């Protein structure tokens, strides 16, 4: 199993982040440059890491797998919660959180992409030291991520670690 940092480190993006050169120009791109003086349209692939809460999927989420095309409404992820569970820099490695329960304003645009990776995330829960023993919180740094091929409405717990959600890598094509 990999840590979150190993999973989403910016320079292990296989060229998906859009910051790396794609190599030389293809003959198709060169032809477009000389095709009636029209400007060439370049397509680049952009990577995006989206958090999907367990309860979002368990309630009424649509199953998806590697290779699936998805269209999700996303917002900013809860960085404090991610940092507590997965480590101090988790918030900088997760781009958004999926929501399909109407918690976002009407008309929020959908983010479309192809799923290129799915990680199930589990963590341990415990009471805060000196706090109410009935109130459980993620144990700092207890998050464990593991590769899976598909996400459905229920992913089993791992021993003492409870399933809490998915980290989903999406690939988007953008025209420039």
Rounded Cα–Cα distance for residues 6 and 151 (Å)? 21
In this prediction, residues 135-140 reach a mean pLDDT of: 91
Residue 27 confidence (pLDDT): 36
Q: Where are the domains of the chain?
A: 4-17+45-175
Write the pLDDT tens digit of every residue in 15-72. Answer: 333 333 333 333 343 333 334 444 445 556 678 999 998 877 777 778 899 999 999 8
Geometric angle at alpha carbon 133, from 129 and 136, rounded to 5°: 85
Q: What does the chain come to in residues?
A: 176
């Amino acid at each position: 199993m990999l840590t979150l940092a190993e999973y989403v480190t910016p320079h292990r993006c296989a060229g998906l982040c859009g910051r790396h050169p794609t190599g030389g120009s293809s003959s198709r791109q060169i032809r477009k440059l000389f095709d009636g003086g029209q400007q060439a349209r370049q397509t680049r692939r952009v990577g995006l890491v989206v958090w999907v809460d367990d309860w979002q999927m368990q309630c009424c989420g649509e199953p998806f797998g590697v290779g699936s095309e998805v269209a999700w409404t996303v917002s900013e992820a809860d960085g404090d919660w991610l940092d507590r569970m997965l480590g101090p820099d988790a918030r900088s490695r997760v781009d958004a959180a999926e929501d399909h329960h109407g918690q976002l304003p009407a008309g929020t645009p959908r983010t479309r992409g192809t799923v290129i990776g799915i990680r199930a995330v589990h963590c341990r829960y415990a009471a805060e030291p000196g706090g109410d023993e009935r109130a459980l919180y993620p144990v700092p740094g207890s998050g464990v991520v593991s590769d899976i091929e598909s996400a459905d409405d229920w992913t089993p717990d791992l021993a003492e670690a409870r399933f809490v959600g998915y980290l989903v890598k999406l690939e988007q094509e953008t025209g420039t």
